[in-house]
Amino acid sequence: MKLSSFYKESINKHPINPADLLILINKIFGLSKEEFWSHGTSKKISEEDIGKINEYIARLVENEPISYLTGEKEFYSEKFFVDRSVLIPRPETELLLEILLKESDRSSSILEIGPGSGIISILVAKINKAEVTAVEINRDALDIFKKNIQLHSVSNLITPLLADLFPPVKKKFDIIVSNPPYLSESAMKIIDTNVREHEPVTALLGGKKGYEIIERIITGSPVYFNYGGKLLIEIGYDQKDYVTNILKSNGFRDIIFYDDLSGIARVVKATR
C-alpha cells in the first residue's frame, strides 16, 4: 500500500487530527511534513508498518496525547522526553520560567518543587547557570527528569531528589519555584478527557479544594529561605485571593501577580 493512500484512508476512518497522523508518520518513517506531501504517493509501506501505525492510531482514538506517543515535547524551543508519569509541558508555564529567569543568575540557589519532566530546573540551569535542587514525589517522573538532565548536559548544576515537597536536609535557597498540582476535585471532573484520562493525577490534583499543595508550599517554605528569598508559584485561575491571604498570614510581602495571555493571574511572586 502507498503511504498517501494509508493516510487518506486513516483520516477518513478514524476521528483523529490529521496533524497528529503526520507527526506519527514522521516518527515512524522519518519523513517531514514536506517530504510526506512530495513523496507520500510513491512510498510503499509494509503490513508490519501498517500494524505499527494502527496501534498508535488506536491510542490517538482513545484521546491519548500525541506527546506520549512520540515520547517528547518541545518547550521553550528545546526538546524534552515525556512519558505518562509526567505532565506534558504547557505553553503557559513559559510565564513562570521567564519570571524565574529574570529573578535569578548564576549565583542563585534555587529549589524547585515538582519538576516533572524538568523543564523549569533544566532551563534555568542551562540559561542562567544557576544551581538547582529539585524535589519530586513521583519516582517514575524523577526518572524522566534525570533523563532530561542528561539530555541537556546540566547534571553538574541540578540535584534531583525524591521527597514530599521539601528536601530531607535543611538547606536555604534564594528562590523557591513551583508549578504545583492546583486543580480541585470538581475541576478534575470537567477538564478535557485527554488530560483527565491520560495525564498523571499527582501532577494535576491539588486536593479537594485545589489549593492544598500550594498552601503546604507557602506554609512550609519560610525555613528554607535565605533572607529576602523569593517564592514563585503558578496558580489556578480562581486562586488569587486565597493565595494572597495565605501569603500574608505567613509573613510574605511584595506580593505580585502576573497575568497570562488570557488576562488571568497565573503566577505569583512574593518575598520573605
Question: Rounded CA gap, 263 and 97, in Å?
Answer: 18
Which lies closer to ligand SAM via its Cβ, residue 120 or residue 247? 120
Give residues with Cβ within 8 angstroms of 157, minimum separation 6. Answer: 125, 129, 130, 131, 132
Write the binding mask 178 to 217 for ligand SAM: x where contact by CB under 6 A, - elsewhere. -xxx--------------------xx---------x----
Least CB distance to ligand SAM at residue 92 (A): 9
Nearer to ligand SAM, 57 or 87 (CB): 87
Length of the chain: 272
Site pattern 111..150 for ligand SAM (x: CB under 6 A) = --xxxxx-xx--------------xxxx--x---------
Residues 6+ apart with CB under 8 A from 144: 81, 82, 83, 85, 86, 116, 117, 118
Pairwise CA distance, residues 54 & 10, whole Å: 9
In the bound state with ligand SAM, the residue whose beta carbon lies nearer, of 52 and 240, is 240
CB contact set of 271 (below 8 Å; sequence gap of 6+): 228, 229, 230, 231, 252, 253, 254
| Shortest distance, position 171 Cβ to ligand SAM, whole Å | 16
Contacting range for ligand SAM; rule: CB under 6 A; set: 11-19, 54-62, 85-93, 262-270: 85-93
Give the torsion through C-alpha atoms of 210, 215, 218, 220, to 10 deg: -130
Provide, rounded to whole angstroms, the least separation between the CB of residue 257 and ligand SAM: 18
Site residues for ligand SAM per CB under 6 A: 86-87, 89, 93, 113-117, 119-120, 135-138, 141, 164-165, 179-181, 202-203, 213
